[in-house]
């Protein structure tokens, strides 16, 4: 559960995750070294330095206590002040402070106070707050209160801060250098991702494998895969186009021969069969072409949808464009998209009485919806309906004619060629089938 919550805040890009993998260990090492090693090491150094000063204070106190009179004690303290590098005032000025004082951020001050207190000297007050560079002590003697001042540098190590700053600066520099090298290694992966995404949307962008051996191997495999897919698409198109073209010739001769025969019921029936075969061949040819033979250009989906609706209206079909949301041009194959819409509108008016088209353009996708008032398709049959040559006649209107079973297959093939998909659902507006042609932007 904790990792699931943490995952939501993790970066999603490869650069972000690589930077996190790079920075987290460095920060962790800095914290461990700073806390476990540096702080404990320099606490020990501070303790040793404070103990040395404590010895000097003990010697000073012994000399003061050995004098019988105050004047002699004052003379002795003056003689010792310079060698010990201390400022000694005897008797010292009285103070109302009853507790040791230090700044909150003064971490080494804790060690200084604890060390001086553990030595057993009659120190009444330790003041590290008044002046950050001076240590102020109030020591009880037989001649009264004695004020002692000396430099803070004699009891506190100053190197930790310089070392920490140096470590942080060097760590930042090395992090930047490592990130630059890492970005250079990640750039080929990003180029491979861009080429793969473009190919998924039906575009073929120039790509040359580069980078580490593993990235080059993946790039070469992608190029081989792309070449195989393009060859298969080309072979399928040529094969079906060739078959359809070759079959048209005998059909044309048959149609011409029948037209020269006297009309009767048998001839009319054969002409209808020939027309049906021509329609089937047209469906095969459209399926073979798919999105081929059409260049990617910046086009307005609204214009493509309006053109498809107008063409259907001129053909006498009851269809209208009811909704337009968003705006902008998209890199698509307009002829292929128009062919897909023609098939969807044709299916809608074949199995229903009317059709409605709506277009929505968002930041990431284009959705063109075609709805009808026909019987629709049951949810359990929708996947089967998208397969080529699939006919679900028991669930459709038989009186509206029978299709080839390629209308939805052609549409989904074109949608996938644009990095999109085709979704089937129930129309809330008309009660029949709703088909969403989704194209990636």
**What pLDDT digit, counting tens, does each position of 164-173 carry?**
677 778 878 8
Handedness of CA 337, 343, 346, 347 (dihedral sign): negative
Please name every residue paired with 52 in a beta bridge, in sequence order, or none if there are none: none
pLDDT in tens, 383-406: 888 877 666 654 444 444 455 567
pLDDT of residue 277: 77
Dihedral, 126, 129, 131, 137 alpha carbons, nearest 10: -10
From CA 219, how far away is CA 373, in angstroms rounded? Answer: 49
With 70 as the cut, is the pLDDT of residue 241 above it? Answer: no
Q: What is the mean pLDDT of residues 83-90?
A: 90
Helix (H, G, I), strand (E, B) or coil at 135: strand
| CATH no., domain 290-440 | 3.30.565.10
H/E element, 177: helix 159-200
**Six-digit token string for 429:** 């507006």
Start-end of CATH 3.30.565.10 domains in the chain: 290-440
* pTM exceeds 0.85 for this model: no
- For 183, 187, 319, the CA distances from 179, given in Å and listed in that order, are 6, 12, 58
CB atoms within 10 A of CB 278: 16
């Amino acid at each position: 559960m904790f990792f699931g919550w943490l995952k939501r805040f993790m970066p999603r890009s490869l650069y972000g995750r690589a930077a996190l993998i790079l920075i987290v260990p460095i920060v962790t090492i800095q914290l461990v070294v700073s806390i476990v090693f540096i702080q404990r090491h320099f606490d020990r150094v501070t303790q040793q330095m404070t103990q040395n000063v404590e010895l000097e204070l003990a010697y000073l106190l012994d000399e003061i206590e050995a004098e019988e009179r105050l004047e002699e004690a004052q003379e002795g303290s003056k003689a010792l002040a310079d060698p010990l590098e201390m400022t000694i005032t005897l008797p010292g000025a009285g103070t109302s402070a009853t507790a040791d004082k230090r700044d909150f951020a003064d971490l080494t001050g804790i060690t200084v106070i604890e060390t001086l207190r553990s030595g057993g000297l009659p120190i009444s007050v330790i003041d590290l707050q008044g002046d950050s560079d001076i240590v102020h002590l109030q020591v009880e003697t037989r001649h009264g209160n004695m004020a002692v001042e000396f430099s803070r540098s004699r009891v506190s190590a100053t190197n930790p801060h310089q070392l920490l700053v140096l470590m942080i600066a060097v760590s930042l520099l090395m992090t930047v250098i490592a990130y630059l090298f890492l970005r250079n290694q990640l750039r080929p992966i990003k180029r491979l991702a861009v080429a793969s995404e473009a190919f998924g949307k039906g575009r073929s962008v120039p790509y040359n494998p580069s980078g580490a051996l593993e990235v080059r191997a993946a790039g070469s495999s992608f190029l081989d895969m792309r070449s195989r897919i393009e060859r298969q698409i080309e072979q399928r198109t040529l094969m079906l186009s060739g078959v359809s073209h070759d079959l048209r010739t005998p059909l044309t001769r048959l149609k011409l021969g029948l037209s020269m025969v006297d009309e009767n019921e048998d001839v009319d029936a054969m002409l209808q069969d020939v027309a049906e075969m021509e329609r089937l061949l047209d469906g095969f040819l459209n399926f073979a072409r798919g999105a081929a033979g059409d260049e990617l250009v910046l086009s307005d989906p609204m214009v493509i949808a309006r053109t498809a609706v107008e063409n259907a209206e001129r053909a006498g079909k009851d269809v209208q464009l009811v909704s337009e949301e968003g705006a902008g041009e998209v890199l698509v194959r307009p002829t292929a998209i128009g062919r897909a819409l023609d098939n969807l509108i044709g299916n809608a008016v074949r199995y229903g009485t009317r059709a409605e088209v709506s277009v929505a353009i968002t930041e990431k996708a284009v959705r063109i919806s075609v709805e009808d008032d026909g019987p629709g398709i049951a949810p359990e049959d929708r996947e089967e309906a998208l397969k080529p040559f699939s006919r679900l006649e028991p669930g459709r209107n038989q009186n509206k004619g029978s299709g080839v079973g390629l209308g939805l297959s052609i549409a989904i093939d074109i949608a996938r060629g644009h990095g999109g998909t085709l979704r089937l659902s129930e129309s809330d507006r008309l009660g029949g089938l709703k088909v969403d042609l989704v194209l990636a932007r």
